């Protein structure tokens, strides 16, 4: 058994391999959006279920047709369209503000130019926009048709990583993204980085629940200090 204290990068790779046996490799990308559309999708998804943010995104496309029309519409109409989201009254004006900023900075509503930048530069550029942090910039780079090498870390991924002891729960979003991405093998392709995000996220959704994680049926139990402590503290029925 590999202990995390021996070699954290090797430990993460072992976790990756075990979870890949369960959830798969070469996982299909769930989006094929251009970078701007992916940015809009990511901004809508903050603290919202995928189902609801997906509906809000489809509503915007069906009601307005173009991001220029979303930018220029009365804010009340945008808010109504994205009402499936949490806090549409905040997200509508913020989204329009971002679209206006992009128009001012780029002269047109497109982020396709990001494909000509390296990933670090593209992420820094995106994170200068209001409401865009490491998770959102990584999502735009990885999930859009750019298919770039960037690791998004959602709440499920973060929970699994902290319970395994890979990172401290108090590390914060920005440092967590960098710390977890830096532990992946440098030779990983963009697809493998995406796979890692997916298997960690899926494990958090299907086994490592926020409440009452299913530790006894976890393929990582022998590696997980949190799981071992929970199992030892809970009598077997």
Q: Which residues of the chain have pLDDT under 70?
A: 1-6, 235-237
Counting other chains too, the contacts that 86-89 makes at CB distance below 8 Å and 24 or more residues apart are 86/46, 86/47, 86/48, 86/52, 87/47, 88/56
pLDDT at 3: 56
Whole-number pLDDT of residue 76: 97
What pLDDT, on the 0 to 100 scale, is given for residue 4? Answer: 58
Using CA atoms, how far apart are residues 154 and 176, in angstroms rounded to an integer?
10
- Looking at residue 1, its pLDDT comes to 55
The reported pLDDT for the residue numbered 197 is: 96
CA distances from 20 to 40, 52, 197 (A): 30, 28, 11
Q: What is the pLDDT of residue 8?
A: 93
Helical pair 173-182 and 155-164, crossing angle rounded to 10 deg: 70
User: Domains (ranges, CATH) in the chain?
Assistant: 8-27+153-233 (1.10.1670.10), 35-143 (1.10.340.30)
């Amino acid at each position: 058994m590999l202990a995390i204290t021996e070699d954290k990068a090797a430990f993460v790779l072992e976790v990756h391999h075990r979870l890949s046996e369960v959830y798969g490799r070469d996982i299909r990308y769930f989006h094929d959006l251009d970078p701007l559309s992916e940015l809009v999708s990511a901004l809508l998804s903050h603290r919202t279920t995928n189902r609801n943010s997906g509906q809000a995104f489809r509503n915007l496309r069906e009601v307005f047709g173009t991001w220029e029309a979303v930018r220029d519409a009365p804010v009340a109409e945008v808010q109504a369209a994205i009402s499936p989201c949490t806090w549409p009254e905040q997200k509508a004006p913020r989204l329009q503000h971002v679209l206006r900023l992009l128009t001012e900075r780029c002269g047109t509503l497109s982020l396709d130019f990001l494909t000509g930048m390296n990933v670090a530069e593209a992420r820094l550029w995106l994170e200068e926009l209001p409401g865009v942090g490491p998770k959102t910039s990584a999502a735009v780079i990885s999930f859009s048709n750019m298919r770039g090498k960037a690791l998004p870390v959602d709440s499920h991924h973060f929970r699994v990583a902290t319970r395994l002891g890979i990172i401290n729960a108090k590390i914060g979003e920005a440092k967590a993204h960098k710390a977890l991405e830096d532990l992946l093998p440098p030779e990983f392709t963009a697809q493998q980085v995406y796979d890692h995000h997916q298997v960690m996220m899926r494990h958090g959704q299907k086994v490592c629940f926020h409440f009452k994680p299913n530790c006894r049926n976890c393929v990582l139990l022998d590696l997980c200090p949190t799981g071992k402590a929970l199992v030892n503290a809970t009598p077997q029925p």
